[in-house]
Amino acid sequence: MFLLSLLLMCGEARAQQTDGYAFFAAGGVSPSLGASRRYQIGGGFEGIFVHGIGAGAEIGAMGTSFTHSVFGLFSANGYYHVLPHRKIDPFATAGYSLAFGLSAGNLFNYGFGANYWFRRSLGLKAEFRDYLWPTEFANRNYWGFRVGLAFRSE
């Protein structure tokens, strides 16, 4: 029984996958006090464990055209990949974000997108992501469309 259990766990360990990515995003801020665009750059990683469920973290910088400020952003997210290990890999994500630097605060983020794998270990990432930042006056949404490169190791 012990040897059978070890063999079964080895199969599960092989199914684990780690993806890294780097991205650029452009979008906006809603509600806005005028025309406000937002830009973001960053990178991160995620691990897909079993049945498309995973977790990950990322770090980057975000800036807005209205306030002309740039701040750091760290996120810890859960992921669900609808078709993991396929050429087109759609996913949904949600989690916690921490803004730091000139601006500081706790945010909630969610998004959806897909990875398109050119090769086994290199792909294109396209995603919509929204950060909800509750403030004392009104909630702000920092939304954007991301595009970047995805890297896979198994």
The neighbour count for residue 139, using CB atoms within 10 Å, is 11
Question: What are the C-alpha distances in Å from 64 to residues 38, 39, 55?
Answer: 4, 6, 28
Q: Amino acid identity, residue 35? A: A
> Using alpha carbons only, what angle is made at residue 17 by residues 16 and 18, rounded to the nearest 5 degrees?
135
> Domain extents for the chain?
16-46+55-153
Q: What is the mean pLDDT of residues 37-56?
A: 93
- The percentage of the chain sitting over the pLDDT mark of 90, rounded to a whole number, equals 57
Least confident of 4-18, 38-52, 131-145: 4-18
Average pLDDT of the chain, as a whole number: 85
The residue ranges of DSSP E strands in 8-139, in sequence order, are: 17-30, 37-50, 53-64, 70-81, 88-101, 105-117, 122-133
pTM listed for this prediction: 0.83
pLDDT for residue 102 is more than 50 = yes
Our CA dihedral for 16, 80, 72, 100, rounded to 10 degrees, sits at: -100
**3.40.50.300, 3.20.20.80, 2.40.160.20, 1.10.3470.10: CATH of 16-46+55-153:** 2.40.160.20
- Our measurement of the distance from residue 27's CA atom to the centroid of its chain's CA atoms, rounded to an integer in Å, reads 15
Determine the average pLDDT of the residues in 106-115.
96
Q: What is the pLDDT, as a whole number, of residue 32?
A: 64
What is the arithmetic mean of pLDDT over 25-51? 86
Q: Is the pLDDT of residue 98 over 70?
A: yes
The rounded percent of the chain whose pLDDT value lies above 70 is: 85
